């Protein structure tokens, strides 16, 4: 008689941080500009009403959520692992049902013993993926904030008067705008 047990173990990890955008224009407009820039970079708006949250899910199951109103960035990963254990029993039980029950109990004990190290191993792998994603995410968010700031500066300059010249570039991190007021 043999019995098989299968368990699904959920493993997750995450980190939360903040991005800051200079308040050059009204907060609502700055949020709109940041959201537009993030959409250009592959982020999608969520259906949450009243919140301006953009989400990007990577191939490696890492999810990045950015609330453009508050500047909150949440990076998380969640995975499910499956543990299978098969146990064979001897014919010492009085009936087939009793043998199956004994095999099931033995399988449950083995699964409980097997899950702990597998859960820890999966958690460490998820954390490593998350750390790798954070290394790649930082320059992407910095570039989005820089582009948003440059767009806001241009918009503010247009509000102040006629733009006479623009020197430098947002990508380079230098931007000089001459405005005739």
Q: How many CB atoms lie within 10 A of CB 166?
A: 15
Is the confidence at residue 12, as pLDDT, over 70?
Answer: yes
Query: How far apart (Å, rounded) are the C-alpha atoms in residues 73 and 64?
Result: 7
How many domains does the chain contain in total?
1
Query: How far apart (Å, rounded) are the C-alpha atoms in residues 18 and 137?
Result: 13
Q: How much is the pLDDT for 7? A: 76
Give me the domain span that covers residue 51.
2-180
Confidence of residue 20 (pLDDT cuts 50, 70, 90): very high
CA 77 to chain centroid, in Å, comes to: 6
> What is the distance between the terminal CA atoms of the chain, rounded to a whole angstrom?
89
Supply the pTM of this predicted model.
Answer: 0.76
Q: How many CB atoms lie within 10 A of CB 111?
A: 18
Residue range 76-134, pLDDT digits in tens:
998 888 877 665 555 555 677 776 777 777 777 777 777 788 888 888 888 888 888 88
* CA nearest neighbour of 83 among 108, 114, 106: 114
> Which segments within the chain are labelled E, that is strand?
2-18, 44-45, 53-57, 62-67, 72-88, 162-169, 174-180
Q: How much is the pLDDT for 40? A: 95
Of residues 56 and 11, the one with the higher pLDDT is: 56
């Amino acid at each position: 008689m043999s019995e098989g047990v299968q368990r699904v173990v959920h493993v997750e990890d995450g980190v939360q941080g903040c991005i800051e955008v200079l308040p050059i224009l009204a907060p609502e407009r700055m949020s709109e500009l940041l959201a537009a820039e993030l959409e250009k970079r592959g982020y999608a708006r969520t259906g949450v009403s009243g919140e301006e949250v953009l989400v990007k899910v990577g191939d490696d199951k890492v999810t990045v959520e950015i609330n453009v109103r508050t500047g909150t960035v949440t990076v998380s990963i969640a995975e499910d692992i499956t543990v299978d254990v098969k146990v064979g029993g001897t014919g010492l039980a009085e009936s087939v049902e009793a043998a199956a029950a004994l095999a099931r109990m033995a399988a449950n004990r083995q699964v409980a013993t097997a899950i702990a190290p597998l859960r820890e191993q999966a958690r460490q792998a998820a954390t490593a993926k998350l750390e790798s994603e954070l290394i790649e995410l930082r320059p992407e968010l910095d570039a989005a904030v820089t582009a948003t700031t440059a767009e806001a500066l241009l918009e503010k300059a247009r509000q102040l008067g006629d733009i006479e010249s623009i020197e430098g570039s947002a990508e380079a991190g230098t931007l000089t705008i001459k405005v005739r007021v």
